[in-house]
């Protein structure tokens, strides 16, 4: 079943995902970092040069450095499934990004396999693993 568990928790997890996406588009490291658990893990297997980063401070530092290459980006995300069990949950989420880089308009789509935890009444990402699904790169403005 793609959506299980209490509605209130599933809504809060969806809002966590939307907060993450909004912070990416606004390039707000503080808001973006606040979506991660302190001992979180972020894996990017399609980007071996980035690999897996552990711990919120290291994750935020890596993201802040990486975002220097994306002066303007529109990042969208939506869930494909959310399964809540007590204070933990799994979510599959999809992403769509549009950005210009070195005169090329890029459109990337991907999928995250997420684990979330409820800490002091707030849902946070404890683990995210991203894979590319489709990449489209063309002349600027395409």
Q: How far apart are CA 62 and CA 80, in angstroms?
A: 27
**Global confidence as pTM:** 0.92
Mean pLDDT, the chain, as a whole number?
Answer: 93
CA distances from residue 131 to 22, 38, 69, 71, 139 in whole angstroms, order as listed: 20, 23, 19, 22, 24
Alpha carbon distance 36, 117 (integer Å): 9
| pLDDT of 21 above 80 | yes
Place of tokens 């997420």: 114
Tokens of 13: 């997890």
pLDDT of residue 1: 64
| Coil/strand/helix, residue 98 | strand
Domains of the chain, CATH where assigned: 3-139 (3.10.450.50)
Residue 112 has pLDDT above 80, yes or no: yes
| pLDDT tens digits, 32-48 | 999 999 999 999 999 88
Average pLDDT over every residue of 109-128: 98
DSSP 47: -
Q: How confident is the model at residue 136 (pLDDT cuts 50, 70, 90)?
A: confident
CB–CB of 5/85 below 8 Å? Answer: yes
């Amino acid at each position: 079943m793609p959506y299980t568990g209490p509605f209130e928790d599933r809504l809060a997890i969806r809002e966590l995902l939307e907060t993450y996406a909004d912070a990416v588009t606004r390039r707000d490291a503080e808001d973006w970092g606040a979506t991660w658990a302190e001992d979180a893990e972020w894996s990017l297997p399609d980007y071996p040069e980035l690999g897996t980063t552990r711990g919120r401070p290291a994750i935020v530092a890596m993201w802040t450095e990486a975002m220097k290459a994306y002066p303007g980006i529109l990042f969208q995300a939506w869930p494909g499934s959310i399964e809540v069990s007590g204070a933990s949950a799994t979510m599959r989420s999809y992403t769509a990004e549009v950005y210009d880089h070195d005169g090329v308009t890029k459109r990337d789509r991907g999928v995250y396999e997420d684990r979330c935890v409820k800490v002091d009444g707030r849902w946070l990402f404890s683990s995210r693993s991203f894979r590319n699904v489709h990449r489209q790169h063309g002349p600027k403005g395409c």
